[in-house]
C-alpha cells in the first residue's frame, strides 16, 4: 500500500495502538517486520499512520503479541478495514486537517460527552450563531472560507440525526448561555434551538449555573468521545491553534473525572430546560 503524506488522526491512532500492542509485549520492530513479511522501515511507518496495516496482518501481530482481549482486537481490525471516503473528505485541501479529524472522530464515536464554558456545542449550533462565531476569528476569515466552515459544521451536525446516532451529553455553562453571539435575536433563536434538540432521545443537555461554583479545567471545550471499547476512547480539546487529540491512559482518566465532576454538579435535564427558558425570557 502506498504511503500517506498526511495521515488522519484516526489513522495515527491505529498506528499508535499497534505500537502499544507491540511494545507492551516486548516485541521488537525487527521481529514484527519478519513476522509480517515487511522491511523494518514499514513497521515504523505503520506505527506512525503513514502506512496502512491489513486486517489479517493486524490479527497475526496481535496473536504473536499475546493480546487476548478479543473486543479490543476486533475494534482495531475494524479500524484497519478499507473504507469508503467519509463526507468530510470533500473538504480536504480547503479546510484545516483538524476540522476533518473532529468530524471523523464524531462519526465513529458510540457516545460523546462534552463540556462548554463560553461557546455553544458545535453540534447544536444554529447557522446564524455559527456564522457569528466564524466572523470573529483572528485573523479574519474571507467570506468563502466562512461559507465552507458553515457547510462543514452543518454536515457535522447530521451525526446526531443518523439512523444509529451516538448518545450525546452536552454540559453548557451559564456563561455560554448568556453570550449574545450575533446579537439578541440570534441568541434567542440559538437558545430555542437548544431546547428543541434537548428533547431528542439521544441528546442530554445539562446546564452548569454560576451558583454551582468551581469546576476543573482551564475553560476549553472538552469532548470525551467513547470508542467501541474503552481503550479507544479519545479526548479532543479546542485551542486557539486548533484541536488537540489525547488518548493516553492518564489523560483519559483525567478528563473522565473532569466531565464526571461537571455532570454531577449540573442541573437535571428538566431543570436545565427550565433554566434556559428563564434566560430566553430575560433577553
Q: What is the pLDDT of residues 212-226, one digit of tens each?
A: 999 998 888 999 999
Q: How many CB atoms lie within 10 A of CB 249?
A: 11
Per the CB < 8 A criterion, the answer to whether 115 and 171 are in contact is: yes
Q: What is the pLDDT of residues 138-176, one digit of tens each?
A: 999 999 999 999 999 999 999 999 999 999 999 999 999
Question: What residue has cell string 489479517?
Answer: 56
Per the CB < 8 A criterion, the answer to whether 235 and 255 are in contact is: yes
d(CA 249, CA 20) in angstroms, rounded, equals 12
The pLDDT of residue 200: 97
Q: What is the pLDDT of residues 12-43, one digit of tens each?
A: 999 999 999 999 999 999 999 999 999 999 99
d(CA 28, CA 56) in angstroms, rounded, equals 19
Say if residue 6's pLDDT is above 90.
no
Helix (H, G, I), strand (E, B) or coil at 263: helix
232: CB partners within 8 A, 6+ apart: 13, 17, 72, 75, 76, 79, 247
pLDDT over 90 for what percent of the chain?
A: 93
**Torsion of Cα atoms, 264 then 269 then 273 then 279, to 10°:** 0
pLDDT over 70 for what percent of the chain?
A: 99
Name the least confident of 90-94, 103-107, 218-222, 275-279.
218-222
pLDDT, average across residues 72-94: 94
DSSP letters along 10-26, please? Answer: HHHHHHHHHHHHHHHTT
Q: Which domains does the chain have, with CATH numbers?
A: 9-80 (1.10.260.40), 92-282 (3.30.870)
Say if residue 109's pLDDT is above 70.
yes
The pLDDT of residue 185: 97
Say if residue 245's pLDDT is above 80.
yes
How far from chain centre, in Å, is Cα 186? 26
Record the pTM.
Answer: 0.95
The pLDDT of residue 182: 96
pLDDT, average across residues 236-257: 94
pLDDT, average across residues 225-251: 95
The pLDDT of residue 197: 98
Say if residue 116's pLDDT is above 90.
yes
Say if residue 2's pLDDT is above 70.
no
pLDDT, average across residues 115-122: 95
Amino acid at each position: 500500500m502506498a504511503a500517506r503524506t498526511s495521515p488522519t488522526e484516526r489513522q495515527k491512532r491505529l498506528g499508535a495502538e499497534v505500537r502499544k500492542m507491540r511494545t507492551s509485549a516486548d516485541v521488537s520492530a525487527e521481529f514484527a517486520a519478519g513476522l509480517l513479511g515487511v522491511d523494518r522501515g514499514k513497521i515504523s511507518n505503520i506505527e506512525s499512520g503513514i502506512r496502512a496495516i491489513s486486517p489479517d496482518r493486524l490479527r497475526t501481530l496481535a496473536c504473536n503479541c499475546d493480546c487476548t482481549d478479543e473486543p479490543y482486537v476486533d475494534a482495531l481490525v475494524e479500524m484497519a478495514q478499507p473504507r469508503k471516503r467519509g463526507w468530510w473528505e470533500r473538504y480536504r485541501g480547503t479546510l484545516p486537517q483538524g476540522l476533518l479529524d473532529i468530524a471523523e472522530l464524531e462519526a465513529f464515536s458510540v457516545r460523546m460527552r462534552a463540556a462548554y464554558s463560553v461557546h455553544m456545542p458545535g453540534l447544536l449550533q444554529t447557522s446564524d450563531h455559527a456564522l457569528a462565531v466564524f466572523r470573529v476569528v483572528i485573523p479574519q476569515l474571507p467570506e468563502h472560507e466562512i461559507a465552507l466552515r458553515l457547510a462543514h459544521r452543518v454536515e457535522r451536525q447530521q451525526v446526531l440525526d443518523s439512523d444509529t446516532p451516538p448518545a450525546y451529553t452536552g454540559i453548557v455553562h451559564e456563561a455560554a448561555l448568556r453570550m449574545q453571539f450575533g446579537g439578541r435575536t440570534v441568541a434567542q433563536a440559538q437558545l430555542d434551538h437548544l431546547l428543541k434538540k434537548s428533547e431528542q432521545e439521544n441528546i442530554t443537555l445539562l446546564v452548569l449555573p454560576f451558583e454551582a461554583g468551581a469546576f476543573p479545567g482551564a475553560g476549553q471545550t472538552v469532548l470525551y468521545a467513547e470508542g467501541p471499547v474503552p481503550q479507544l476512547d479519545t479526548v479532543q480539546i479546542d485551542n486557539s491553534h486548533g484541536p488537540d487529540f489525547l488518548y493516553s491512559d492518564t489523560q483519559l482518566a483525567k478528563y473522565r473525572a473532569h466531565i464526571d465532576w461537571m455532570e454531577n454538579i449540573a442541573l437535571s435535564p428538566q431543570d436545565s430546560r427550565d433554566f434556559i427558558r428563564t434566560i430566553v425570557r430575560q433577553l
